[in-house]
Structure 1
Amino acid sequence: MKKLLLLVITAFISLPVLADVIRINQLGYPPHGSKVAVWCSKEQDTLKYFELVDATSGDVMFKSKAMRAAGAYGPFRQTSRLDFSSFHTPGQYYLRAGSTTSPTFSISDTVYKGTADFCLRYMRQQRSGFNPFLRDSCHTHDGFPVYGPDTTFVRVSGGWHDASDYLQYVTTSANATWHLLAAARDFPKVFSDSLQANGLPGSNQLPDVLDEAKWGLDWLIKMNPGDDRMYNQVGDDRDHQGMRIPKQDTNFYGRGLERPVYFCTGEPQGLLKYRNRATGTASTAGKFSSCFSLGQQLFAHSGYADTLGHKAKAAYTFGMAKPGVCQTAPGRSPYFYEEDNWTDDMELAAAHLGNNYLDTAWHFALQEPVTPWLGKDTARHYQWYPFINQGHAELARQISGARKDTLIHYYKVGIERVWQKARLNAFYRGVPFIWCSNNLTVAFAIQCYWYRQLSGDDTYLQLEQACFDWIFGCNPWGTSMVYGLPANGDTPADPHSSFTHLKQYPIDGGLVDGPVYTNIFKNLIGIQLQDADEYAAFQSDLAVYHDDYGDYSTNEPTMDGTAVLIYLLAAQENQARRSGYTITHGGITRMDSTHQEIALVFTGDEFGDGLSAISKTLQQEKVKGSFFFTGNFYRNKAWQPAIRQLYKEGHYLGPHSDKHLLYCDWNKRDSLLVTKEQFLQDMNANLDVMQQLGIDTANVRCYIPPYEWWNDSIAGWSAGMGLQIVCFTPGTGSNADYTYPEMGIRYKSSKAIVQSVKAFEKNKAGKLNGVILLIHAGTDARRKDKLYLQLHQLINYLKQKGYRFRRVNDLVI
């Protein structure tokens, strides 16, 4: 449709190009997030005011001064940022600046809903071996080994095609696998389960993102068939001989349908004219190891996890034996992934391997404090891959004190270097226009996100959001860079893809390479545009982007870039859904404050005298609660009949640690009192005894820490197990029901506690919306005044006020 429209427009060459345009994020904006558009003019006029208009009524809902003129950028002579972040009302709107209006967009907490799942479609379409989109198989004859000690056939069919060609690389596939695993770990509520492991329709009780990640893991295992065997690449650029659908295997390599499989030698490779600059194996081995370790966490309690755990350590050892980079191999053309760094990969691997490796991870962190391209104007193709140092975030979640602060500072230094360039233009663009600039953009946005999560510092929030907005249309060309997203937006229609070019198959969710410097474009080999350029008015001496299958440099979708985008989209959806939530050190202490819902939670370790009364009250009031017990409590035979009854009645049962450990110092919260191994062992023991009582722990997604006390490291370790920390809402006072008169002024009677809850409801903004009320399942015998005996009265009061009761796991995101 876009190409047809172009032909109509070019037929009337006398039509003027609009002097002014407003670029927006076509997906829309969450109510409580950063909301910025960019006004652009071909003239030198400046803008004073802009308006936000209700698209239905035409009413002006918000009016503000435009930010200072930001000057020329790309094809525009003047630009300005339009910031409407302070407007929070959901709805359909457009922006008006002078006589120019923007496309209509949404403000809603659901604007990102389903987008991560949508982009998973592209990953499935890229599958080699059995391809669920085509419902057919391809490349089942891979392959014959080169460079290594093996001479016989190596079975490596599977994995993903790298881009629109059908080459396959561990370099990019491992990075994609890691991001899918991390997205499943960090944002488990975002993804759906509508497909089987093979990608065909049907639920298999596993989120589709984990099915896709496992597809990557299974191929990585094939590429690492033994502790002393590691392969890095399948095929080479002899593949680039015309477009074809993947099932049309070719004999370009002189071995029938077999393709070469490149052994990791740690030495320069290249079978034809060109060779790479490989110096070791660590960059590839580190990627293998980190994927295997993270996979072990997410597929725990299985033989598969045991395999992954062994291979994670073996791959790490393989990398340590030969430090250096294992670059991909070129052939007849000079293009390859010129990765020049490896300590970041080994840092990530060591951080995943746990406590005994953390000092080594720190040593690697010191060798690459800041990813070298950050703040630079150029770099070689994939020179500093995977574009950000993921190891810093993983390590920072597991340590405390000065070392953690240093890692966070490293992230800040890199962000600040980009910011010094970005602040000079209205798009806040500080990422260089090198090949695959979109991949750099989404990776950098994740570094900003991780920095904000680890530090609590929002200084760079608009820079982070600007990267995201750029991908979805807030750029000089006014187009989304993701095929088919949003459905009603301006998105790629003619990408460099055989699927679309030969068969007109949609490549839903594929992130294209993105703009490149104009001088790069002019010097690339073999590029020839096939159609008139619909973005001709927005090309410039700075950068170009073409929606034309003849341009492999700006409009070719990539598998690894899409996988990184999936993590970013999941983070955005999770954050939008959490806009009304209160997060403290990674733990949820209040649910969505925009909904009149309350969660009743009950904890127990030593005492369970209130179980019977609590169960009876909840049943009478038709209210579901959430119970968090220690392993000590679950093992107590006196409480087991009541526990089984609670589970039968549909209440949520979760862990509370096995031995009721104190995780961190009361006065110095950042100071840990347990190691990661102790934490994991204790939590797994808690989950094991729950399983023994018939509780399905596969559905356990949240827990309350012992003593209701934790820190960022504990939250990070918990996330690695797929567990979200939840806790009572401070100020409600119900958690004081454990006190007894001998405690003096700390003692709170049940009457005082109920009054405290009522006072919170009366005086606090948002009242009790989203509040988590904690009551103990039993208390010391010295407390005669039991709050659980007042539960009936409390529930009735809250019902009269209009509150609904939900299990806490149903509200956790």
Structure 2
Amino acid sequence: SSSSKSTGSSLIHYHADFDSFDREGRYRLRLGDGRQSEPFSIGRNVYTRLVPLMLQYFETQSCGEYTPAAHGPCHLDDGIALGGPRDGQKIDATGGWHDAGDYLKFVETTSYVTALMLTSFLRYSEAFPHRKKGGQLPELLAHAKVGLDWLHKMHPTPDEFYYQVGDASDHELWRLPEDDNPNKNSKWKPRPVLFGVGANLAGRTAASFALSALLYKPYDRAFAAKCLKSAETVYALGLKNKGVLTTKPADFYPETSWADDMEWAAVRLFEATGKQDYLTQAIEFSLLAGASGREASVYNSHALAHFALYPHVAKKDKARLLEYLKEDAEAVRRYSSNPYTLGTPYIWGTAEAAAGAAMVCRGYGLLTKNEEYLTLAKRQRDFVLGCNPFGICCLIGSGTRYALNPHHQIANLKAIELTGAIIGGPANYALYKGNAIELDSLEYGVPMQTLPTDPQELRALSVYQDSVGDYIANEPANDYTAKFLLVAAYDIATTYAAKLDS
């Protein structure tokens, strides 16, 4: 079946649904004039192949002694404490993941990414390979441990918390990570490790540790116990610092909420310990957090926290949490009256916003068994995978058309494909003007000569270019990729369950 929508111009967009096809294989669409689409696959396992791609991206992002195929050991001298009881002293902040296309390391994103990985495993473990080659842990837990080990280093004692390695000077030089040492760069110095804590960072970190206490227990009881202890101490820091701490500079990740993160931490600690006080606090924080009124993102954990809390509360609180989730999902639905059913505006990181829109719609749809929102979640997923005005798959290495020139130093300097990364995707034209980025290589979408001249039309225009200099549409990010990992895990698990039923 198909449906059509007009954009108000001469173009008509059709949505074709292949759910009823029962023959697996590779297909093309052929138009009446003989033109053909790119080939695409129909089958039960089409989403299964996405997970190994995304995990490969996190391999590339690894920092420290571990050597992925893409680069050598790096940043082994991280770092020197800036602030706190060790101010000016050496502190071990090695390991973790480089953030996005550069080499800074943030608790802001690492805590979120790790929590999403663990949530994916908690809910959809069948979507992931059981063992990493040569290891004892399930593959996803092995990847998440990279983030967890680094988060432990950022919380070395019950009273200490460090939130960032490096500063804005990281963006001044385009280089490989292994070149950040005195032998390659005579001006190189160990990077600053910034001291400070806010309830937003403490909450997400505590949620990650509490989830780990549950999930690693069957494989490594000592590590699980360590995670539980850290979850409780960092949560206590959050209770003492009820406010937001952003990255430095703040505009790198300008978060504004914290109660949602503390709610998430409290409910996961309740699950890990059975202590009623944590559940009481989770309910209190949920009242403070309310609804976000938008898609899930690194800036808000509202939907994730409310969804986790829902099974543990009484009927009255369940109804309240559902109203919060409905408000978020409704915000997505209101935006979705466009040919591609995209439930967010075109922003900096439209692909990750679409993944976040899928998360809130799916969460509400699953709890209420509302097919409209479950279908809307699929449309957000499809936008990321190429059902967008530019026919570009925002997951590198998937499909036939994806970014070949991402804004990523390792990929660019090594001339390699950045397999598994989710890029920002199509963005609003106004962002380019505001950031003085030239639109010089529009390979997909509107050719440059057809850009409208009317200012109102320009403001509404979405654009995409596959350019290494474009850090709006073409830069990958860890949080982008982890969000889509959770989205894809649901689809794989659902397919797996359908196989068992058939």
- Same topology, TM > 0.5: yes
1:554 equivalent in structure 2? 473
| 550-559 or 407-416, which deviates more | 407-416
Q: In the alignment, is the contact (CA less than 8 A) between 2:262 and 2:285 conserved in 1? A: yes
Give the match's secondary structure for 2:103: coil
Which amino acid is the alignment partner of residue 72 of structure 2? D
- Following the alignment from structure 2 to structure 1, what is the Cα–Cα distance between the partners of residues 162 and 351? 28
Which amino acid is the alignment partner of residue 263 of structure 1? F
- Following the alignment from structure 1 to structure 2, what is the Cα–Cα distance between the partners of residues 563 and 220? 17
Give the match's secondary structure for 2:312: coil
2:407 equivalent in structure 1? 496
Aligned-pair CA distance for 1:183: 1.5
Aligned-pair CA distance for 1:194: 6.0
Give the match's secondary structure for 1:397: helix
Give the match's secondary structure for 1:240: helix
Q: Does 1:313 align with 2:247?
A: no
1:485 equivalent in structure 2? 398
Query: Of 162, 170, 173, which aligns to 2:107?
Result: 170
Q: Greater share of helix residues, 1 or 2?
A: 2
| 215-224 or 134-143, which deviates more | 134-143
1:370 equivalent in structure 2? 291
Q: Percent identity?
A: 33
Tell me the alpha carbon deviations over residues 320-370 of structure 1, each in whole angstroms, 9 at most, x when there is no partner: 11111010011xxx7321100111100100111114311211121122222
Which amino acid is the alignment partner of residue 90 of structure 1? E
Aligned-pair CA distance for 1:123: 0.4
Q: Does 1:442 align with 2:373?
A: no
Which amino acid is the alignment partner of residue 224 of structure 2? A
Q: Does 1:356 align with 2:277?
A: yes
Q: In the alignment, is the contact (CA less than 8 A) between 2:71 and 2:178 conserved in 1? A: no
Which amino acid is the alignment partner of residue 28 of structure 2? Y
1:159 equivalent in structure 2? 96
Aligned-pair CA distance for 1:569: 1.4
Which amino acid is the alignment partner of residue 168 of structure 2? D
1:628 equivalent in structure 2? none
Q: In the alignment, is the contact (CA less than 8 A) between 2:261 and 2:302 conserved in 1? A: no
Give the match's secondary structure for 1:578: helix
Tell me the alpha carbon deviations over residues 772-806 of structure 1, each in whole angstroms, 9 at most, x when there is no partner: xxxxxxxxxxxxxxxxxxxxxxxxxxxxxxxxxxx
Which amino acid is the alignment partner of residue 231 of structure 1? Y
- Following the alignment from structure 1 to structure 2, what is the Cα–Cα distance between the partners of residues 255 and 398? 55
Tell me the alpha carbon deviations over residues 306-327 of structure 1, each in whole angstroms, 9 at most, x when there is no partner: 1111111111110111111010
2:216 equivalent in structure 1? 299
2:332 equivalent in structure 1? 418
Give the match's secondary structure for 1:335: helix
Q: In the alignment, is the contact (CA less than 8 A) between 1:234 and 1:261 conserved in 2? A: yes
Higher Rg of the two aligned structures? 1
Give the match's secondary structure for 1:232: strand
Give the match's secondary structure for 2:422: coil
Q: Within 5 Å, give how 1:57-136 maps onto structure 2.
A: 64=1, 66-67=2-3, 69-72=4-7, 77-96=11-30, 98-99=32-33, 101-129=36-64, 130-134=66-70, 136=72
Structure 1 residues 548 and 388: alpha-carbon distance in aligned structure 2, compared to 1, 3 A threshold: farther
Structure 1 residues 449 and 323: alpha-carbon distance in aligned structure 2, compared to 1, 3 A threshold: same
Q: In the alignment, is the contact (CA less than 8 A) between 2:293 and 2:327 conserved in 1? A: no
2:273 equivalent in structure 1? none
Aligned-pair CA distance for 1:492: 0.8
Q: Does 1:433 align with 2:346?
A: yes
Give the match's secondary structure for 1:187: helix
1:138 equivalent in structure 2? 74
Aligned-pair CA distance for 1:238: 0.2
Q: In the alignment, is the contact (CA less than 8 A) between 1:253 and 1:259 conserved in 2? A: no
Q: Within 5 Å, give how 1:175-194 maps onto structure 2.
A: 175-193=112-130
1:326 equivalent in structure 2? 245
2:455 equivalent in structure 1? none
Q: In the alignment, is the contact (CA less than 8 A) between 1:117 and 1:209 conserved in 2? A: no
Q: Does 1:147 align with 2:83?
A: yes
Aligned-pair CA distance for 1:533: 2.4
- Following the alignment from structure 1 to structure 2, what is the Cα–Cα distance between the partners of residues 327 and 320? 17
- Following the alignment from structure 1 to structure 2, what is the Cα–Cα distance between the partners of residues 295 and 166? 26
Query: Of 515, 520, 527, which aligns to 2:426?
Result: 515
Give the match's secondary structure for 2:498: coil
- Following the alignment from structure 1 to structure 2, what is the Cα–Cα distance between the partners of residues 306 and 255? 42
Aligned-pair CA distance for 1:443: 1.9
Q: Does 1:283 align with 2:219?
A: no
1:233 equivalent in structure 2? 164
Alignment coverage as a number of residue pairs = 481
Q: Within 5 Å, give how 1:593-612 maps onto structure 2.
A: 593=502
Which amino acid is the alignment partner of residue 261 of structure 2? D
Structure 1 residues 441 and 250: alpha-carbon distance in aligned structure 2, compared to 1, 3 A threshold: farther
Question: Where does structure 2 lack aligned partners over 5 or more consecutive residues?
Answer: 271-275, 452-457
Structure 1 residues 507 and 312: alpha-carbon distance in aligned structure 2, compared to 1, 3 A threshold: same
Structure 1 residues 194 and 306: alpha-carbon distance in aligned structure 2, compared to 1, 3 A threshold: closer
- Following the alignment from structure 2 to structure 1, what is the Cα–Cα distance between the partners of residues 159 and 111? 18
Which amino acid is the alignment partner of residue 470 of structure 1? F
**Which structure ranks higher in relative contact order (CA pairs < 8 Å, sequence separation ≥ 6)?**
2
- Following the alignment from structure 1 to structure 2, what is the Cα–Cα distance between the partners of residues 71 and 175? 38
Q: In the alignment, is the contact (CA less than 8 A) between 1:122 and 1:508 conserved in 2? A: yes
Q: Does 1:533 align with 2:442?
A: yes
1:592 equivalent in structure 2? 501
Aligned-pair CA distance for 1:85: 3.5
Give the match's secondary structure for 1:413: helix
- Following the alignment from structure 1 to structure 2, what is the Cα–Cα distance between the partners of residues 189 and 500? 31
Structure 1 residues 393 and 254: alpha-carbon distance in aligned structure 2, compared to 1, 3 A threshold: farther
Q: In the alignment, is the contact (CA less than 8 A) between 1:193 and 1:204 conserved in 2? A: no
Q: Does 1:395 align with 2:314?
A: no
- Following the alignment from structure 1 to structure 2, what is the Cα–Cα distance between the partners of residues 253 and 135? 17
Q: In the alignment, is the contact (CA less than 8 A) between 1:438 and 1:514 conserved in 2? A: yes
- Following the alignment from structure 1 to structure 2, what is the Cα–Cα distance between the partners of residues 506 and 84? 30
Q: Greater share of strand residues, 1 or 2?
A: 1
Give the match's secondary structure for 1:247: helix
- Following the alignment from structure 1 to structure 2, what is the Cα–Cα distance between the partners of residues 426 and 229? 50
- Following the alignment from structure 2 to structure 1, what is the Cα–Cα distance between the partners of residues 356 and 130? 26
Structure 1 residues 183 and 536: alpha-carbon distance in aligned structure 2, compared to 1, 3 A threshold: closer
Which amino acid is the alignment partner of residue 93 of structure 1? Y
Tell me the alpha carbon deviations over residues 620-654 of structure 1, each in whole angstroms, 9 at most, x when there is no partner: xxxxxxxxxxxxxxxxxxxxxxxxxxxxxxxxxxx
Q: In the alignment, is the contact (CA less than 8 A) between 1:516 and 1:543 conserved in 2? A: yes
Q: Within 5 Å, give how 1:660-809 maps onto structure 2.
A: none
Which amino acid is the alignment partner of residue 115 of structure 1? L
Aligned-pair CA distance for 1:98: 4.2
Give the match's secondary structure for 1:261: strand
* Structure 1 vs Structure 2 CA RMSD: 2.4
Q: In the alignment, is the contact (CA less than 8 A) between 1:296 and 1:306 conserved in 2? A: yes
- Following the alignment from structure 1 to structure 2, what is the Cα–Cα distance between the partners of residues 429 and 538? 22
| 182-191 or 246-255, which deviates more | 246-255
- Following the alignment from structure 2 to structure 1, what is the Cα–Cα distance between the partners of residues 185 and 289? 39
- Following the alignment from structure 2 to structure 1, what is the Cα–Cα distance between the partners of residues 318 and 94? 41
Structure 1 residues 425 and 212: alpha-carbon distance in aligned structure 2, compared to 1, 3 A threshold: same
Q: TM-score, normalised by structure 2?
A: 0.90
Give the match's secondary structure for 1:460: helix
